Amino acid sequence: MTAYGGFYEVCKPQRGEKVFVSAASGSVGSLVGQFAKFAGCYVVGCAGSNAKVYQHSSHYTTRHTIIRQLILAKRILSYVALRHHVEGFPSEEDFEVKTGRLSWRPESGEVLVRNLYLSMDPYQLNRMKRRSPSHVAVDGIVPGERITAYGAGEVVASACAEYKEGDVVAGLLGWEDYTLFRPSPGVLMSKLAAGSVDDNDLHLKHHLSALGTSGMTAYGGFYEVCKPQGGEKVFVSAASGSVGSLVGQFAKLAGCYVVGCASSNAKVDLLKNQLGFDDAFNYKEEPDMKSALKRYFPDGIDIYFDNIGGKTLEAALASMNTHGRVALCGAISEYTDAGHRASPDLLEVIYKRIAIRGFLSWDFLTRFSEFAGIISDWIRQGKVKPIEDVSNGLESVPSAFTALFLGLNIGKKLVKLA
């Protein structure tokens, strides 16, 4: 505003006039110089180092750069923050949308991304607690501060040769409209193929669901942890969710018999009639989970892919076959209630020689592209259907996130920003 008003309104430039700008590499000066070029003037700037002189000489050239600088000059960032730590069920009142300042500079080595989609993930609730065993692997969230989260967006400014304006990326961004990141091997970020934003068969949303961490979790957890054999009986909980809906479809592709549970009849219908599960049931209508599982698996369960923990895990163990495998992917029913913990019958585990293994999606990071390649082929061939559930606008993040704990989502919960 200072640069624009000061130059156009105060100086009233005419094409061909000679303009001198001091502090020309600074915030106001760098814009004034570019505006002067845009107005058809001859412009000379002075700055305090040769690096600044060199850096900014190239910036006085294109209209595109001027527009980019104008966008960045706003330097206002909107982000979702916690008002306080969350120990039980999350509610929308636990969050607020805040604004902050953002400063990208051409010499910073950083990349500025305009976020397009944000991922809603249950594990974030454990980050929101004052203390959680999950903090050994993932940092806790500090109230009032930005919340890092998986997302996808478009590069709008880059001070790093690896990325250029217009690149579409997916990786660790944040619950905010713009994210700055500094590329390094430790930063999870991948560049997506051109055209990912188009409404084609590998739409950008899929890169946050089946081709993102949900796909890596489902593929690694099912194939690497459960090691399925054709004909085995598989039980999946939270089966209509992001990870569960993929695991069930992968189990069918592996020649298994698969049953899922979910919290509504509409979800059960989706599992049986659209995603190819052999059977599914509404666990809210089953007062006794143990007898329900005995009914759905009269010959026992070989593989249990556990997304919810608690009583369902205890019941599944009671129906497991000898040498069964349990993949502990998540325990969402325990995230909201510290007093609600599964207490498995260990004699069941010992005498049936059941293998129970917890895992994190990151365990498979080195094989991310291999898994994504396989899953994208399956999507193209119509063998796997990614399911996404999209809310709109940054202000919808609190309701979209809390929906995960109320069972209101079907498939991968995302928030679309742009």
- Positions touching ligand NAP (CB under 6 A) are 121-123, 214, 217, 238, 240-244, 262-263, 267, 307-308, 329-333, 359-361, 404-405, 407, 409, 413
Smallest gap from Cβ 8 to ligand NAP, in A, equals 50
Rounded to the nearest 10°, the torsion over CA 270, 272, 274, 275 is 100
Name the residue nearer to ligand NAP (CB basis): 196 or 217.
217
Q: How far is the CB of 409 from ligand NAP (least distance, A)?
A: 5
Closer Cβ to ligand NAP, 3 or 218, answer by number: 218
Residue 339, classified by CB atoms within 10 Å of its CB into exposed (0-12), middle (13-18) or buried (19+), is: exposed
- Cβ at position 216, least distance to ligand NAP in Å: 8
Q: Please, which residue, 155 or 246, has the CB nearer to ligand NAP?
A: 246
Pick between residue 13 and residue 358 the one whose CB is nearest to ligand NAP: 358
Structure tokens at 409: 């989502």
Which residue's CB is nearer to ligand NAP, number 16 or number 133? 133
Q: How far is the CB of 146 from ligand NAP (least distance, A)?
A: 21
Give the rounded distance of the alpha carbon of 361 from its chain centre. 12
Q: How far is the CB of 47 from ligand NAP (least distance, A)?
A: 48
Q: Which is nearer to ligand NAP, 25 or 237 (CB)?
A: 237
Exposed (0-12), middle (13-18) or buried (19+): which is 208, by Cβ within 10 Å? buried
Q: Minimum CB separation from ligand NAP for residue 405, in Å? A: 5
CA 334 – CA 241 distance, rounded (Å): 17
Tokens 């050994």 correspond to 136
Q: Which of 294, 291, 283, 348 is nearest to 317 (CA)?
A: 348
Three-state SS for 16? coil
Stretch (H or E) spanning 413: strand 412-416
